[in-house]
Amino acid sequence: MVRALVHGARLAIEAGDRPALGRLMDRNQVLLAGLFVSSSQIERMCGLARDAGALGHEGYELAFNRGRVLLEMNDIEGAEREFDRAATIEPAKVDVQLQLARVRYMLGDPKFARSLAAAAGARRGDIALQLLFAEVLWRAENLPGAEAVLQDLVTRKVGGAHVHSTLACVLQDAGRLKEAESFAIEAATVSPADSVIIENLVSILLSRGRPEDAMPFIREQRRKDPESQAWVAYEATAARLLGSELYLELYDYDRLIRVYDMETPPGWSSMQEVNAALVEALGQRHRMRNHPLDQTVRNGTQTPRSLLSETDPAIKAILSAFEGPIGEYRRALGTAAAHPLSARNSGKTRYTGAWSVRLWRQGYHVNHFHPDGWLSSAYYVDVPPETADPVAQSGWIKFGEPRYAVPGLRAERYIQPRPGRLVLFPSYMWHGTTAIHGDAPRLSIAFDVKPV
């Protein structure tokens, strides 16, 4: 299908046939960019999109998907222009409003949500826009603004369970746990089959120190989706609060967190050479001025394009080199069926994502797990001198502390970052970092893998 679509579009462009090109786009609803972003043939798609634009087919799909292509090519300013063009054509489209807000936020624009705010203000009856506006404000840590939008929806009695659940999350972030629980329970009562709504309730119950109330929800979700990393993470947290042996099985730090000092990949003289090349290559890809709107980074940047699609020799070499430690980890793990990690240890693994993070002064990761992984990682390309202090532990990775404060639960394991060091651990394991404080940045690569 992709090949036929590309061929048809090329013929239409070369012939100057506007109607034919229009029919191709209208029939598929998205320009070829959507397909090429997935298949990583970014540069070729950019040429096709440019030619299609010159032919005069300037619709929403072209602008939106051209923005996606430019974002994949790390042209952040170009992506903003195209997303802004698409949002002007179709201001009620939540997909483009979200992308535009994300890009402007990463560019450090203080009015990053202005297009979304205008669209939501002009369409108060559009619940999808109202919810997106509230969530964007919440992710940007504008809790009063997010609460005002959501309380307005509650007052108007529109939006239902998702409005109440999102408001519960905002109130949880604000530390107003009793109010948060009330809205979360109301949402779960209306939509008991919605796993996101149930997850929000469980997180609040655990923050209130009520594992006995949270555990029935957790067990039901574990039954429905046994491979979900989120529900293993919550199960471990509840088990820890309850003093259950299950926690020690799920968070066996000595067995399940493994540290590897990487060996030099073929074709390179040393890991120092590899890391120096990575510093240069990744530095060209960290062009943003702010952390992503909806990721765990604070005071830093994250590459918008997956490293899996990169052709840079150093990036390809290090990703290939990771396969050795992944294999060692799996061999040591075993295949015991009673444990959610080892039970899936069969066959080969595949990367499901790879990215780079650069932290600067006061930069850190909030505690999180990786919902799209099975094994997760942290590889250190370059670290500031302050990380060598074992007392301050600046920039160290930490394990065991949930995203939101839970009474009595602190991090239990810290690991020092060093250039050339790879840390592998279960994707369900809560982890974050301590902040760095100096001017020297901390540069890392992270990836997730799953069994095939």
Tokens of 83: 């997303």
pLDDT band at 266 (very low <50, low <70, confident <90, very high): very high
Q: Is residue 173, in this structure, part of any structural domain at all?
A: no
Give the Cα separation of 348 and 333 in Å (integer): 14
Q: Which of 22-31, 181-190, 323-332 has the lowest mean pLDDT?
A: 22-31
- Where among 111, 127, 143 does a domain terminate? 111
In a domain, 248, yes or no: no
Domain final residue, candidates 91, 111, 131: 111
Q: How far apart are CA 380 and CA 443, in angstroms?
A: 6
Q: Is the pLDDT of residue 47 over 60?
A: no
Q: Residue 73 — pLDDT band, cuts 50, 70, 90? A: confident
Residue 74 is predicted with a pLDDT of 85
Residue 129 lies in a domain: no
CATH number of residue 1's parent domain:
1.25.40.10
Kindly state the percentage of the chain with pLDDT values over 70.
87
* 12, pLDDT greater than 90: no
**How many of the other CB atoms lie within 10 Å of CB of 230?**
21
In a domain? residue 182: no
pLDDT in tens, 126-166: 999 999 999 999 999 999 999 999 999 999 999 999 999 99
Secondary structure of the chain in HEC code, one letter for each residue = CHHHHHHHHHHHHHHCCHHHHHHHHHHHCCCCHHHHHHHCCHHHHHHHHHHHHHCCCCCHHHHHHHHHHHHHCCCHHHHHHHHHHHHHHCCCCHHHHHHHHHHHHHCCCCCCCHHHHHHHHHCCCCHHHHHHHHHHHHHCCCHHHHHHHHHHHHHHCCCHHHHHHHHHHHHHHCCCHHHHHHHHHHHHHHCCCCHHHHHHHHHHHHHCCCHHHHHHHHHHHHHHCCCCHHHHHHHHHHHHHHCCHHHHHHCCHHHHCEEEECCCCCCCCCHHHHHHHHHHHHHHHCCCCCCCCCCCEEEEEECCCCHHHCCCHHHHHHHHHCHHHHHHHHHHHCCCCCCCCHHHCCCCEEEEEEEEEEEEEEEEECCECCCCCCEEEEEEEECCHHHHCCCCCCCCEEECCCCCCCCCCCCCEEECCCCCEEEEEECCCCEEECCCCCCCCEEEEEEEEEEC
The predicted pLDDT at position 31 comes to 44
**CATH for 280:** 2.60.120.620
Q: Note down the domain range covering 88.
A: 1-111
136 part of a folded domain: no
Question: pLDDT at residue 5 above 80?
Answer: no
Q: Find the mean pLDDT for residues 54-62.
A: 69
Does residue 141 fall inside a structural domain? no
Domain end among 111, 141, 176: 111
Give me the number of domains the chain comprises: 2
More reliable by pLDDT, 324 or 31? 324
Residue in the block written with tokens 């996606």 = 68
At residue 51, does pLDDT exceed 60?
no
**pLDDT for residue 106 is more than 90:** yes
Burial class (CB in 10 A: 0-12, 13-18, 19+), 321: buried
CA–CA gap between residue 356 and residue 339 (Å, rounded): 30
Kindly state whether residue 204 falls inside one of the protein's structural domains.
no
Is 239 inside any structural domain? Answer: no
